Amino acid sequence: MKKMVDCPNWKEYHSLNGWVMFCSAGAYGKILSAAEAAGCGCTAEQKSKCKKIMENNVGFGLVPETKADPGTTEWAGKPGREPAILPGR
């Protein structure tokens, strides 16, 4: 089956309860730079589509935040928020 979203962060698999589809960057609290987001097609429109797919299949959806590239004063996320760090990873 072809993936519903063509993105390196998009994960899909079939479980006992049906299909599971989610954004691994959003699930692990990753903050993408503007260049990373543009490179994988993570635009505001695409985030909206991805979130809707996740909500329909899993019940909720998390998408990654995007910050401006270094040297600019824009910030699209929450000030001071750091990516989640999981123990042992």
Summarize the confidence of residues 70-74 as an average pLDDT.
Answer: 52
pTM: 0.68
Domain boundaries, the chain: 10-67
Q: Residues 24-64: pLDDT tens digits?
A: 999 998 888 888 888 889 999 999 999 999 998 888 899 99
Report d(CA 21, CA 3) in Å as an integer. Answer: 9
In single-letter form, the type of residue at position 54 comes to: M
Give which of 48, 45, 55 is closest to 21, Cα–Cα: 55
